[in-house]
Amino acid sequence: MRIATWNVNSLKARMPRVVDWVTRFNPSVLCIQETKMASDAFPHSDFEELGYESVHNGEGRWNGVAILSKVGLDDVSHGFNDGKPDDPDARIIWATCNGVRIASAYIPNGREVGHDHYHYKLEWLSRLRSHLELNNDPSENLAVLGDFNVAPEDRDVWDIKSFNGATHVSKPERDAFYEILDWGLVDSLRYQCPGEAGVYTFWDYRQGSFYKKMGMRIDFILPTVPMNEAMEIIVVDRNARKGEKPSDHAPVVADFSFS
């Protein structure tokens, strides 16, 4: 079972790249973030032609998350089931594919430390942890995939000194990220590459960041401990950041073999 996540930064603008990537990598499940697309505009039929069922939680101009699957797409839900008011943004969608509970998540950016949006980000991460506690079990096959907008360690950014006082690396954000892992999820790329630095999933469009290797590792595949045991390989396809009209994020893709 091949599972992937990709923040496409507008599915409308990225559709040719997404179709090309899906055709070549043939994932069983692809989690997409930042569709920036209204619900009625989602190209379900184009994905159906490629062999995928699809579900989308969209709002239009911003955010928007989707799951494509070749291996079933059941028990779909949007947002959090935690007894609190609905999240106003379309930032997470859940489905069960081949017996694996999957989430495609786009965590708020935060904008600036101390900004209202930063507090919303911390609250959002806390709600994700609560949702998992209330609705799931860490012994099941489950994976949260997506753009977390958090770099958990200093080596997950190109130069920590450039991030003094910045979002994505602040202690409250990192603590909130590790609170989610502490429920029973594994940073699977870090697990496979415990000694690596310079493995990134995002490079800003500005400043020629990609060519200068000024990246950040902020997109993750986070399986439960038992599911992580079934992982065979995980890679970042940084080739997807090259060429014509790339997203500013690269896909992360992992293979799992369930006995």
Residues that bind DNA (CB under 7 A): 9-10, 12-13, 36, 60-62, 108-109, 111, 117, 149, 204-207, 245
Measured from the CB atom, the residue of 36 and 70 that comes closer to DNA is 36
* Torsions phi, psi for 181 (to 5 deg): -60, -35
Measured from the CB atom, the residue of 5 and 9 that comes closer to DNA is 9
Residues in the chain, how many?
A: 259
Question: In the complex, what is the shortest distance from the CB of residue 207 to DNA, in angstroms, rounded to a whole number?
Answer: 5
Measured from the CB atom, the residue of 193 and 213 that comes closer to DNA is 213
Question: In the complex, what is the shortest distance from the CB of residue 223 to DNA, in angstroms, rounded to a whole number?
Answer: 25
Comparing CA positions, the residue from 227, 155, 160 lying closest to residue 188 is 227
Measured from the CB atom, the residue of 44 and 212 that comes closer to DNA is 212
CA pair distance 24, 43, nearest whole angstrom:
19
Question: In the complex, what is the shortest distance from the CB of residue 239 to DNA, in angstroms, rounded to a whole number?
Answer: 17
Pull the structure tokens for residue 187: 């940073």
Question: In the complex, what is the shortest distance from the CB of residue 246 to DNA, in angstroms, rounded to a whole number?
Answer: 8
CA pair distance 223, 19, nearest whole angstrom:
26
- Given CA atoms 147, 150, 156, 157 in this order, what sign does their dihedral have? positive
Measured from the CB atom, the residue of 118 and 183 that comes closer to DNA is 118
Question: In the complex, what is the shortest distance from the CB of residue 13 to DNA, in angstroms, rounded to a whole number?
Answer: 4
Q: How many CA atoms lie within 13 A of 216 on its CB side?
A: 21
